[in-house]
Amino acid sequence: MVSAFARPLQLLGKEVALPFALLCLAVFYSLPGQLVLASAPKGLRALSFAVLFAMMIWCAFAVVRHADALAIRLGEPFGTLILTLSVIGIEVSLIIALMLAGSNNPQLARDTMLAVINITMNGMVGLSLLLGALRYGEQPYNTQGARSFLSVLIPLAVFSMVLPRFTTSTSGPTLSSSQQIVFASLIVALYLVFLGVQSLRHRSFFEQPQLSSGDNSQAQFDFEDHGPTGPIWLHALLLIANMLPIVLLSKKLAVLTESGLEALSMPAALGGVLVAVIVLTPEGLSSFKAARANQLQRSVNICLGSALATIGLTVPAVLAAAAFLDIEVHLGAGEADLVMLLLTLALSLVTFSGNRTNILNGAVHLVLFLVFFALLLMP
């Protein structure tokens, strides 16, 4: 009986972020915290921003830790799917909070999606391939899984960020009410079909292929050594418990973000990058760790799955929230962003056309990632 309770207690002992997050919530939702957000000096507001940002990143790491534990217990692709859906919930809450903070930012959802696509498909993919190639030379992955991701990701990206720029029902890069309903419904339907393929009908497409005798199979054991794990229900409960502070603190961070960007005369698109960084930092580290452990398929599942879920779930959720809250949303990408988006999708098709990756694939994606940030700061 002692061993039956030892693991859950040991697991709870590692939950350091959660009590600090609850303390942070109590402070910033109190009257003094409200005054700091409203009219505090710049230095105190900057400190508050740093505390909130660090706290949300810390909780996001806890979410990923429990998602990784569930991945080990449930196997692929369910583990990665849980992780992806968890961070998408965080992403949507952050976008809505930032859209409602102060003046309306109709480009925020588009900027966030563009940032997520460039960070995941260029930054995370590039660095994962580079780290894996430096250690193993070439790495195998399941080509059918990568192509399945891209076959859905490409049309959804075009529906969401290319077509709104060329439709004539509205004057700007937006969709009419009827178009929003049709596009959101089709996006959700296609994403649900993909989830059925990924989790039920063709699970083998998204599993790591068997390592040959020339590959380093010992790395798989190192990758799966995550320390103590508890019951599935406890990991699921703690995953949700660590997500809630992120959602609640996002409203407070949104106030500081908008005022900070205005004070520093920084591009408004950095708000979308900030959202992407919060939700993708833990996923990125999980992807890098998997690539270093010669489990490239998990890296592919994380990176391409995050990009696909961002469009498949975030776009319909944001459109629904915008219709309910009467908020204008601009989805059509600008000229430079449009070129970068199409170039990223085309390069991804080339990268995942074979059954092994190498250092050149990673280097090219990282160059595109750096170009994205250069254009963001120097449009």
- Residue-level pLDDT at 222: 43
Q: Is the peptide bond before 77 cis (omega within 30 degrees of 0)?
A: yes
Beta strand ranges found along the chain (DSSP E): 139-140, 356-357
156 in Cβ contact with 122 (< 8 Å):
no
Of the candidates 84, 216, 104, the one whose C-alpha atom is nearest the C-alpha of residue 153 is 84
pTM of the model: 0.80
- Contact present, 275 and 98 (Cβ < 8 Å): yes
CATH architecture of 2-377: Up-down Bundle (1.20)
**Residue carrying the six token digits 């690539």:** 291
Q: Calculate the alpha carbon distances from 36 to 47, 255, 299 in Å.
A: 10, 11, 41
Over the stretch 43-83, which tens digit does the pLDDT of each residue have?
Answer: 777 788 888 888 888 888 888 788 777 777 776 666 667 76
Rounded mean pLDDT, 266-276: 74
SS3 at position 106: coil
Alpha-carbon dihedral of residues 352, 355, 357, 362, nearest 10 degrees? Answer: 10
CA dist., res. 367 & res. 127, Å (int) = 10
The model's pLDDT over 99-135, given as tens digits with 9 standing for 90+, comes to 666 556 677 778 888 888 999 999 999 999 999 999 9
Q: How do the domains of the chain map onto residue ranges?
A: 2-377
pLDDT number for residue 231: 76
Residue 13's pLDDT is what? 59
State the average pLDDT over residues 302-313: 86
Whether residue 251 is predicted with pLDDT greater than 90 in this model: the reply is no
Per-residue pLDDT at 14 exceeds 60: yes
The yes-or-no verdict on residue 26 having pLDDT over 90 is: no
- On the question of pLDDT at 262 being above 70, the answer is no
Residue 362: half-sphere exposure toward Cβ, Cα within 13 Å: 22
Q: Give the C-alpha separation, 223 to 221, whole Å.
A: 5
- Nearest CA to 96 out of 318, 331, 262, 245 is that of 318
